[in-house]
Amino acid sequence: MRKLALSDEILLSVDKPARYIGGEVNSVMKDPEKVDIRFAMCFPDVYEISMSHLGLQILYDMFNRRDDVYCERVFSPWVDLDRIMREKNIPLFALESQDPVKDFDFLGITLQYEMCYTNILQVLELSGIPLHADERGEEDPIVIGGGPCAYNPEPLAVFFDLFYMGEGETLYDEIFDLYKANKKQGGSRKDFLEKAAELPGIYVPGFYEVDYKEDGTIAAFRPINSHAKPVITKELVMDMDSAPYIRKPVVPFIKVTQDRVVLEIMRGCIRGCRFCQAGNVYRPLREHSLEYLKDYANQMLKSTGHEEISLSSLSSSDYSKLEGLVNYLMEEFKGKGINISLPSLRIDAFSLDVMSKVQDVRKSSLTFAPEAGSQRLRDVINKGLTEEVILKGAADAFHGGWNRVKLYFMLGLPTETVEDMEGIALLAEKVAETYYEEIPKSERHGKVQVVASSSFFVPKPFTPFQWAKMCTKEEFLERAYIVRNKFKEMLNYKSLKYNWHEADLTVLEGVLARGDRKVAAVVEEAYKNGALYDSWSEHFKNDIWMKAFETCGLSIDFYTTRERSLDEIFPWDFIDCGVSKKFLIREWKQAMEAQVTPNCRQKCSACGAMKFKGGVCFENKN
């Protein structure tokens, strides 16, 4: 029987002790003595968030299919256990074996959100691993980062031994084989990193040097080790059906954020929204076959006992076999109590028909994401959604029995005017009016409810808006107040609700998203002064971060509100994510003219992703 790392006394004193004991259904148990490589897979957030992450489950399943690798999970301890572990000097441990993370060969950390960066340092410190890569010895795990935030790894560069750019299914077998061979030959840590640096998609930050100009911008970025490449090209799965998926997802003991089976139907997106990083870095769109998805849907539902299956993608409506898949799932699981969840759908007749069949319309709300309040600004961001389409979708939904609608917007987008901001309230009002115009009084299920939410715009790397100025905290809030005041003027005000995101947190996210290596000092300083779980509003302490910028002598405005020239070298320019800088510049200029670019199925825009020789780029080629 396993010995738990935490005593019963400690487990009974912390919130949700099931976060720390492991042993869940489908978790993998191996003998650590009988494997060559031990890999600790980390999501730097609390258990409930971490266990909802699809990528972690895919790699966990894939790694453990190898007899010579034992992959275990490790997450950020919640604040109550964090305090106890520090007081009692308890090292951070993996869930499966309950062994200290420091004893592992690899610590792989997924980088999903900038506001989790201080949690990465928490994981390293509680594990007893030196925070800085150049201070680690031969006995320390190799710390590897991957995920969407790795597309600008520089604010974390000093903390990681290497970064993996792109999708994890392609290279890890080679990495493991290299590691084993290097160990067998008596090679050092540096020997392994040099061999790894030669692999495509692998970036070893210690092998590169940055020079800065007097104004703080980058003058040059270059390799200083002969094994390091000047350009790192992302890794991509081109034949989706050849990639391993999850046969037996781990089933948590406690309720997690995504408490269901998740079936990934495709990767990438054809839409080209100019603010969206995922839509650019995951290009080109690649689909799973219908047979592949049917097989895995059955396997996962059978192995977990979950009663819901969610079809995952950036834009599910663009999956070419969606109708066939949904009809199969509805028929196959009819009468078996299985719900089908369809996020990321465009609201059209087919989608509404499907949703009315698979969910109780009186209990659910429909979500539209217009992103901007006016047609002009929707054209600037290339949203490809007209007011006519939005209102028709709302009308169809109301006729289908829905009376609750959520609308998502962004404030602070490039070229935004007061008219665009007030357009958010006007559009919400028109949606409410549509309900009262379309649905006779006798058929209404109470009042309509329209909830409009606005996040604040953050320019991200590898988007056409990577050159954009960002608003200050004060400007963000001023815009939110303009929208709020306009809502108060609406005739249907009692049916409308408006809320907005935290402005100070957004500004910080903007710094970390486009930051350079200097920003690492701020992350470390903030962490040492108590910053942790920054993505949780009740734990976010903005004053700690402001003081850290002051202590480190860095200007927030340099990273947020500063104008960027088209020839500036960005911290992430050494990464080739598929879309070319030439394409992004062209899209930036088209945005300034409010010109719409057609989606990838309508017309190829020569973004650069065709070099991967597959996916949507080659759909109509023999």
Q: How far is CA 428 from CA 435, 438, 483, in A?
A: 11, 16, 11
Residues of the chain within CATH 3.30.750.210 domain(s) are 242-359+578-622
Predicted confidence at residue 445, as pLDDT, reads: 82
State yes or no: cis peptide before 284, omega within 30 of 0. Answer: yes
- Supply the CATH classification number for the domain 8-233: 3.40.50.280
Q: What is the dihedral of CA 389, 394, 397, 399, to 10 degrees?
A: -110
- Supply the CATH classification number for the domain 242-359+578-622: 3.30.750.210
Comparing C-alpha atoms, which of 70, 73, 59 is closest to residue 172? 59
Predicted confidence at residue 622, as pLDDT, reads: 46
Helices 503-514, 542-552: axis angle to 10 degrees equals: 40
Predicted confidence at residue 335, as pLDDT, reads: 86
- CB-based contact 430:487 (threshold 8 Å): no
Comparing C-alpha atoms, which of 264, 255, 445 is closest to residue 364? 445
In order along the chain (622 residues), what is the average pLDDT of each group of 10 residues?
92 97 97 97 97 95 98 98 98 98 98 97 98 98 98 98 97 98 98 98 98 98 98 97 94 91 96 96 97 95 93 92 92 88 78 73 76 97 92 90 93 98 98 96 91 98 98 98 98 96 96 98 98 96 98 98 96 97 98 97 96 91 54
Q: Does the pTM of the predicted model rise above 0.85?
A: yes
Helical (H) or strand (E) element with 411: strand 404-411
User: At a CB cut-off of 8 Å and minimum separation 6, what does 389 contact?
Assistant: none
State how far the Cα of 255 lies from the Cα of 304, in Å rounded to an integer.
Answer: 14
Predicted confidence at residue 1, as pLDDT, reads: 61
State how far the Cα of 545 lies from the Cα of 525, in Å rounded to an integer.
Answer: 8
